[in-house]
């Protein structure tokens, strides 16, 4: 799973119980969380993420994907609120929400952050497959 920093680390830390995506996934089970790039709109305590604290590109951790469910485009915020509470629904980065249908909710369980970041070389437009 490729994610920008700081979201990659936050998924590995268990802050995100789900991701909202514009595409479905058939993948189930444990997957690597690979940090690739920085979200230029993200702020940590009102400042851009510290690149030493949020390194990339590389493996941050892993998470299990037990389910992927299609949800109604017009009810994304309501679904996040109903399933995960108002705090998470308000925290979820709005600029990461799909701009049109279809919309899928990827459930995330049992996150694990690596004790040590594993740098890796990523080629442009290639998605790495890794054995954990």
Q: What is the pLDDT of residue 26?
A: 95
The strand pair at 18-21 and 58-71 is best described as: unpaired
The answer to whether residue 39 sits within a structural domain is: yes
The answer to whether residue 72 sits within a structural domain is: yes
The answer to whether residue 124 sits within a structural domain is: no
The answer to whether residue 132 sits within a structural domain is: no
The answer to whether residue 131 sits within a structural domain is: no
Cα distances (Å, whole numbers) of residue 102 to 69, 80, 81, 124: 11, 16, 19, 26
In the chain, how many domains are there?
Answer: 1
The dihedrals phi and psi of 32, each to the nearest 5 degrees, come to: -75, 145
Give the separation between CA 14 and CA 31, rounded to whole angstroms: 14
Give me the CATH number covering residue 108. Answer: 2.30.130.30
Parent domain of 69: 2-118
The answer to whether residue 14 sits within a structural domain is: yes
Give the separation between CA 18 and CA 64, rounded to whole angstroms: 11
The answer to whether residue 123 sits within a structural domain is: no
Q: In a structure prediction context, what are the per-residue pLDDT tens digits for the chain, which is 132 residues long?
A: 999 999 999 999 999 999 999 999 999 999 999 998 899 898 888 888 888 888 889 999 999 999 999 999 999 999 999 999 999 999 999 999 999 999 999 999 999 999 999 888 777 655 665 555
pTM higher than 0.85, yes or no?
A: yes
The answer to whether residue 113 sits within a structural domain is: yes
């Amino acid at each position: 799973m490729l994610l920008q920093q700081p979201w990659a680390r936050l998924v590995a830390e268990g802050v995100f119980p789900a991701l909202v995506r514009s595409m479905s996934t058939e993948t189930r089970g444990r997957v690597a969380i690979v940090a690739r790039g920085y979200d230029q709109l993200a702020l940590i305590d009102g400042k851009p993420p510290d690149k030493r604290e949020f390194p990339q590109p590389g493996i941050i951790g892993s998470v299990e994907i037990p389910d992927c469910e299609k949800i109604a485009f017009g009810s994304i915020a309501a679904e996040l609120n109903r399933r995960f509470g108002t705090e998470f629904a308000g925290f979820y980065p709005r600029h990461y929400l799909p701009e049109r249908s279809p919309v899928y909710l990827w459930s995330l369980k049992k996150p694990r952050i690596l004790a040590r970041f594993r740098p890796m070389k990523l080629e442009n437009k290639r998605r790495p497959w890794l054995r954990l």
